[in-house]
Amino acid sequence: MSMRSQVYEWSNLAPGTVVGGGVGSVLNRSQNDLPVQVPANVSTDIFIGGIGNNITKPAETTATQFIVIEDISCTPDLAGSVQVRINTTDYFQNPDVTQMNGVPGTASPYPRGAPSVNPTGTGANTATGTVITTFPDNLLKSFDLYPDIYVLPGQVFQILYTTVQGTGATAFAGNTAGQVVSAFVKYTLYDGPDALIANKLLELGVTINPNNIDWYKRSLIEQQTRSAVAAAAAPTNGGGQ
Amino acid sequence: MSMRSQVYAWNGANNNTTLANNAATAYGTFNNLSGTQISIFIGGFGNNITKPAETTATEFVVIEDISCTPSLNANAGVATNDIAGVIAGAGAAANGVGNAAAQLNTGQLATWQLTNNLAAGAAYTGCSAGVFGPRMYVQVRINTTDYFLNPDNVTNAGIPGTASPYPRSLDFQPSFNLYPDVYVLPGQVWDVRVTSFARDSAAAASIGAGGATVAVAYTGDWGKAPAGTAGIVAGDAVMNGIDFNAFCKYTLYDGPDALIANKLLEMGISINPGNVDWYKRSLLSAQGM
C-alpha cells in the first residue's frame, strides 16, 4: 500500500469537567471530551497546537514520503479559517503578500452542508419547550484546493486553524459559550517507490495524483518491455554477421 | 458474474427481535461502548455475518467507499431538537422510542435530542458537550494493518462520519472520497471497524475535579428523555444502537476476473470494471478476434 488516502480531523475537544470545560490537548479521543477554549486571532496547529486532539510529533515527511494535500476545511462559525504552512511558509497570502488566516470555513465548510452558525438555543430551559433550534442554511463549498499542495520529502507541514471571534471559555457558562469547532484535512501519502515517482513527476511538471503515478509505472513497464523485445530481436537482425 | 458490486450496511441496533433497539444483548449495548473499535462484520453488535470477511485464492476485493453516521458541532449545553414538539404530542410517542422522522430537525439527525440538561435540572439525566451526534469513525483493516494513520504514523480511529457521512443528506455531504481504492488481495482478511466516542448517559458516572464531584458530560450524548413528561417514556434512551450506522461499498472480482485484477495490479493500472474489461478486450485482440 504505497499510495494511501488519509484524513485528519481536529476538534477543540479534550477531557475536563462539566463546570470548567475541556483542558489542553489529548492524543486519544474519549467520551468525556468537552470543549476547550480557542482564543481569538491565534493560529492553532491542529497537529501539535496543544488544543483538542493532537498527535505525538509535528507532521512531517520522511525521506521516502511525499504528501499531497487535497482538501482543507473547517467549521464556518466564529469566522474560522484554515491555513497550510510548509516549513515556515504560509501557503495562502493576501494580494499584497501579507499574512492571512487562510481559507474561511464559509468557503470550505466542514462538514459540508453544515450551518454557518453552530446550532444553539434561544432559551435557557429546554424542559419548558422554549428552545427550538433552527438550521438556517446548508453551506456548500465555494473553494476547491486545486492545484493541490505538495509536501516534499523532509518537509514539516502544519494546518493552522484560526477563529476571529474565539470560542467560549467555559463549557456550560451559558448557551453561547463552549462552542465546538473542527478542522479537516484530506491528503494522499505516497511512500517508498511511489514517493520516488512523485518526485520524478514533479520534475517533469506533471500533476501528482494516483492516476499519473500509475501512468508513470506503466510507462516504465512498457519501456522495459520494448527494451527486452529489442534485445531479443538484435541477434536475429544481424547479430550473427 | 465475475465482477460484482457489493455493499454492506451495518446498524448498531441489536438484531434480537424480541428486544427493544436499545436493550442489551449478551454483548451489552453498542451505545455504551464508547472508544472501543468494533468490527461491523463480526463485532457482536448490530447485524453481523458468520465469519470474518476474507478473500479466497480466486477472489479480489476493491473497497471503494466507506462511511458512517455523521456528527454536528454545537454550542455546549443547548438543545438542538424540537422538545416543544415532542411534548406537544406530535410524534411524541414514536420519538420516545427513537425512530420518529416527524421530529427530524435536520437531515438524518432524526431521533437525536441534545438536551440542555443543566438548565433543565433534574428532569433531564443526559448531558451535552457540544457535539450533536455519535462522533463516529470508520477504519479499514487488512490482515492486522490499519489503513488510516495520523501524520505521525500512529493508527487512528479512521474516517470521521462527518467527512464521509452515511446516509448522505443535504446537511451532511462527503468531504472525503476513498481514492485510490483499497485493494484486498487474494487470501487476505479484511475488516471495517467503527468507533464511537459518544455514550448513553444511562451509564453516567462521576469524576472528581478539584476535590469536588461533578457529573460526567459525555460528548455527543443525546441525553435521556425527561421523566414524567407527557408523551415520552420516562428515562427512555434517545440514543441507542439504531442511531449508529456504517456502510461499505466494494467490488468483488472472482475467478478469471480476479486473475486479471492481479495482472492489472502488477502493471500499475487501477483496478476497476472498466480496466478489467479493457484487459479482456486486449487479450481478445491479441488472439485476432
For residue B33, the model assigns a pLDDT of 76
Residue ranges with strand state E in A62-143: 65-74, 80-86, 89-90, 103-104
List the single residue in A111, A180, A213 with the smallest CB-CB distance to B130.
Answer: A180
Query: Hey, are the CB atoms on A127 and B226 less than 8 Å from each other?
Result: yes
Give chain B positions within 8 Å (CB) of A34: 76, 129-130, 217, 219
For residue B226, the model assigns a pLDDT of 40
Cβ proximity of B196 and B161 under 8 Å: no
For residue A238, the model assigns a pLDDT of 62
Q: What does the mean pLDDT of chain A come to?
A: 84
Task: Please count the other Cβ atoms lying within 10 Å of the Cβ belonging to residue B210.
Answer: 8
At residue A126, does pLDDT exceed 50?
Answer: no
B229-250 pLDDT tens trace: 333 333 333 456 667 889 999 9
Residues 151-170 of A with CB under 8 A from B: 157, 168
Cα(B285)–Cα(A182) distance, integer angstroms? 53
The stretches in chain B having pLDDT less than 50 are: 20-22, 24, 26, 77-128, 201-217, 221-238
At residue A133, does pLDDT exceed 50?
Answer: no
Cα nearest neighbour of A222 on chain B: B267
Query: Hey, are the CB atoms on A111 and B118 less than 8 Å from each other?
Result: no
For residue A139, the model assigns a pLDDT of 87
At residue A155, does pLDDT exceed 90?
Answer: yes
At residue A189, does pLDDT exceed 70?
Answer: yes
Shortest Cα–Cα distance, A71 to chain B (Å): 8
Cα(B196)–Cα(B20) distance, integer angstroms? 21
Query: Hey, are the CB atoms on A171 and B76 less than 8 Å from each other?
Result: yes
Cβ pairs A/B, distance under 8 A: 254
More confident residue, A68 or B212: A68
> Confidence class of residue A11 from pLDDT cuts 50, 70 and 90?
very high
For residue A77, the model assigns a pLDDT of 86
A23-50 pLDDT tens trace: 889 999 887 787 888 999 999 999 999 9
Which cell numbers in the block locate residue A137?
Answer: 442554511
Q: Is the ipTM of this complex over 0.95?
A: no
Cβ proximity of A189 and A4 under 8 Å: yes
B41-72 pLDDT tens trace: 998 888 888 999 999 999 999 999 999 988 87
Q: What are phi and psi of A41, to 5 degrees?
A: 60, 30
For residue B129, the model assigns a pLDDT of 59
